[in-house]
Amino acid sequence: MQLRALRYFHEVARCASLRKAAERLYVTPTAVSRQIEHLEHFFGAALIERGPRGIRLTAEGECLAEQVTSTLRGLDQVREVIASRQSQVAGNISIHVSESIVSTVLAPVLATFYRAHPKVTFNIVIASASATLDALCSGEADLGLAFYLQERADVEVTAHCQLWHRVLVSAEHPFAQRESIELSELQGQPLAIPDSAYGVRQALEVAAKKRGVTLEPVFTTSSLEVQKSLARQRAAVLILPQVEADVRDLGDGLVAVPIADEDLGRIRIDLCVYRNRPRSVAVLKCQEMLAGAMQRCSLN
């Protein structure tokens, strides 16, 4: 049994799809299927079931998936220990993050980190706050970076910073010339926002209800790029956090306008880890670099 087969099976278990697993592994679906067949032959049992709705693990597959996750994580830790003895930082870092802060907070840090530690690989997953917490507790994520994280006893917040909510509109939109916008002025505007699983939607609805404002989400999507594309075409208005409080022209056809609302003006972003799991040197160093970047954001 080869390590490659275990890694391929691990991705299939995570994605519940041969095609998606193949895309993440940069191989063909046939190659993934072949490795799964090798494992099924080795264990003498069917590990997956193929159906019209995709891949489902059998009971035997569930058992293997749980062990494989632990095994691969253990191997990454061994790799990190060996690398540290050779004065290297290596291993894989899994990060679950809110999409709206990838380009402004996470990406600059990871670019700098990778240049300093080229032996480290990253698995970056876009997720809601609740999904981030679940991933931390299950061991799927080493670090979580998200808004509106609910307190959980086994999850530790190691750093946080304050960002600013802004209304993003096309440069041709009437709001683009305004100094600020009242929440009530969003009534009747076609909003593009994620579904209620996301904290920004929940916060917006709570604030609107508090002020007796009726909002109209026309486009419900978790895709930030879809939201921005709709705003550029003046089809929608969206609300996103922003690092630089004084920057209005975002340089991509969108303008960020402050919200004159005490509940929506500022937003907290948390960097979290699972409290009861040891962290590798690579994770600790990345965590430290992210915390430093977040501290600088708070000073802006």
76 vs 87 pLDDT, higher one: 76
- Please say which residue of 36, 56, 88 terminates a domain: 88
Does some domain include residue 202? yes
- Please say which residue of 32, 66, 88 terminates a domain: 88
CATH number of the domain enclosing 199: 3.40.190.290
* Span of 12-21, 170-179, 186-195, 260-269 with lowest mean pLDDT: 260-269
Does some domain include residue 148? no
Give me the number of domains the chain comprises. Answer: 2
Does some domain include residue 33? yes
Average pLDDT for 120-141: 89
Predicted confidence (pLDDT) per residue in 271-280, tens digit: 999 988 888 8
Nearest to 165 by CA among 257, 71, 240, 64: 240
* Residue 137 confidence (pLDDT) above 80: yes
Predicted confidence (pLDDT) per residue in 204-220, tens digit: 888 888 888 888 889 99
Average pLDDT for 189-198: 86
Average pLDDT for 191-201: 84
pLDDT value of position 96 = 94
Does some domain include residue 191? yes
Does some domain include residue 209? yes
Pairing state between β 143-147 and 90-97:
parallel
CATH number of the domain enclosing 19: 1.10.10.10
For residue 262, the enclosing domain spans: 162-267
Predicted confidence (pLDDT) per residue in 48-67, tens digit: 888 777 788 999 989 998 88
* Residue 120 confidence (pLDDT) above 80: yes
Give yes or no: residues 82 and 170 share one domain. no
Please report which confidence band the pLDDT of residue 186 belongs to, taking 50, 70 and 90 as the band edges.
confident
Does some domain include residue 176? yes
Which parts of the chain fold into alpha helices (H)? 3-15, 18-25, 29-43, 59-85, 107-116, 129-138, 199-210, 224-232, 281-299
pLDDT value of position 114 = 94
- Please say which residue of 61, 88, 115 terminates a domain: 88
Residue 47, both tokens: 């590990």
Does some domain include residue 169? yes
Does some domain include residue 18? yes
Nearest to 92 by CA among 294, 287, 288, 283: 283
Mean pLDDT of the chain: 85
